[in-house]
Amino acid sequence: MHMTRIAALAALSAILLAGTALATDKEAASRPATTSASEVPADLIAKIDAEARPQGSPKTRQEMTAAMAKAMQTVLQMGRQAETDYAGAANLHEVRIRMVQAADLLRRIAQDEARGAEALQIAHRILAGSGPPTFKAQADWYVLRRKLTDSPADANQIGDGIRGFVARYAKTDAAGDALTYGAVLAMRLDQNALVNELVAKLQSEHANDPKARSVLRQMGKHPDIGKPFTAELTRLDGTKLSLPKDLLGKVVVIDFWATWCGPCVGEVPHMKKVYQGYKGKGVEFVGISLDRTRQDVEQFVKQKQMDWIHTYDGQGNPTADKYGINAIPSLWVIGKDGKVFSDSARGRLEELIDKALEAPTTAPATTAPAPK
């Protein structure tokens, strides 16, 4: 099933809004806990991130929307309290970027314009602070996006605004982020020539950046196809799995998923059927779980009798981070030589497995077209 243009833009915006906050999970976790008012404690940031993930397993779009709204309200409440308790903290931008994400999601899913105004105010506080360029670029993009989409703007205004934004970060470590944000905004505003210009720079200069990888895939560019899929994974029994080395010669289906993801759970019966049909034909499945705990995965896999390989390497899964996986389920097919055959196999898994089995060596598969 191909995404519509509207759905693609929504997904891209969600990727970008979530990207910086998710990318800082490991940074926050690597710092020792502190009670000093000069720094927001790492464990508090981890708690905010935990609250941002909907609880339970929503089964319908309405249930997911309600769960997301509740989660975002909690994130905002915790963020406001952190701004009060740690007003002078050097890392307050880490909390504020999460607040921008939460407030903007509430603006969109609950049509709450008061939260939209709050998101802009928080973004301006990030820009006025001393945070790193990666956070400022995120906030700057949000302000520019709202400016260009909330009121009419002609092509010249859009081009000047986006190129100016990209230029502001060109000589910083946020250069790739700025190009990514700019390309998505240009796409949203139907500036096709500008999209092509920015995407070309992304491909030539930042193709290995996880966030750029994710957005390029959504735009139909697929930067990983034909390249080795490399991952060091831990099976649920604690043994290691090294890809591609350990499964060379087999076609491998990679499933990025989680038990809290409604669409992932909905795919389980189909995945079981496909696995049963192909496991004796030189095909292996590898689940890469993004769950909160190993126990969540173990219990679910046992209950649903999902008999293929399952791995868990913590909430901040390094392989998902590396490949820019910001939306699940995400199904990939890896060829017999360990190279990516498809990074968008959902909805046509059997077709792509058959093609990968027939290929003597991995050749780039026909991938889903860019959203129209």
* pLDDT exceeds cutoff 50 at 212: yes
* pLDDT exceeds cutoff 80 at 17: no
| Residue 361, pLDDT score | 61
Burial of 79 (0-12, 13-18, 19+ CB in 10 A): buried
* Average pLDDT for 199-208: 83
* pLDDT exceeds cutoff 80 at 41: yes
* pLDDT exceeds cutoff 70 at 276: yes
User: Chain centroid to CA 321: how far?
Assistant: 8
> Contact at 8 Å (CB) between 362 and 337?
yes
| Residue 96, pLDDT score | 97
At residue 37 the predicted structure's pLDDT band, cuts being 50, 70 and 90, is low
Task: List the catalytic residue out of 106, 264, 301, 328.
Answer: 264
Highest mean predicted confidence (pLDDT) among 183-197, 202-216, 244-258, 355-369: 244-258
* Average pLDDT for 250-266: 94
* pLDDT exceeds cutoff 50 at 16: no
Average pLDDT of every residue of the chain: 85
Range with the lowest mean pLDDT among 99-108, 323-332, 344-353, 358-367? 358-367
At residue 10 the predicted structure's pLDDT band, cuts being 50, 70 and 90, is very low
Cβ atoms within 10 Å of 349's Cβ, excluding its own: 19
Per-residue pLDDT reduced to its tens digit, 84-94: 999 989 999 99
> Which residue did the predictor score with more confidence, 38 or 30?
38
* pLDDT exceeds cutoff 60 at 35: no
> Contact at 8 Å (CB) between 371 and 218?
yes
> Which residue did the predictor score with more confidence, 308 or 316?
308
* Average pLDDT for 167-193: 92
State how far the Cα of 330 lies from the Cα of 340, in Å rounded to an integer.
13
For this structure, is 351 an active site residue?
A: no
| Residue 164, pLDDT score | 97
* pLDDT exceeds cutoff 50 at 32: no
| Residue 103, pLDDT score | 96
| Residue 242 phi, psi (nearest 5) | -110, 120
Structure tokens at 248: 């060379």
* pLDDT exceeds cutoff 80 at 30: no
Structure tokens at 60: 């319908």
> Contact at 8 Å (CB) between 322 and 345?
no
pTM tops 0.75, yes or no:
no
- High-pLDDT (> 90) share of the chain, %: 63
The secondary structure element, H or E, covering residue 326 is none
Q: Residue 133: is the preceding peptide bond cis (ω within 30°)?
A: no
In CATH, what is the architecture of 231-358?
3-Layer(aba) Sandwich (3.40)
DSSP 8-state assignment for residue 240: E
* pLDDT exceeds cutoff 80 at 57: no
For this structure, is 100 an active site residue?
A: no
Single-letter amino acid, residue 180 = T
| Residue 83 phi, psi (nearest 5) | -60, -35
How many residues are given for the chain?
372
Task: List the catalytic residue out of 215, 261, 309, 334.
Answer: 261
| Residue 164 phi, psi (nearest 5) | -65, -40
Question: Looking at beta carbons, which pairs linking 225-229 to residues 24 or more positions away fall under 8 Å?
Answer: 225/340, 225/341, 225/342, 225/343, 225/364, 225/365, 225/367, 226/339, 226/340, 226/362, 226/363, 226/364, 227/339, 227/340, 228/338, 228/339, 228/340, 229/254, 229/332, 229/334, 229/338, 229/339, 229/340
Which residues sit opposite 311 in a β-bridge? 235, 288
At residue 209 the predicted structure's pLDDT band, cuts being 50, 70 and 90, is confident
* Average pLDDT for 290-297: 91
* Average pLDDT for 33-42: 69
| Residue 214 phi, psi (nearest 5) | -60, -45
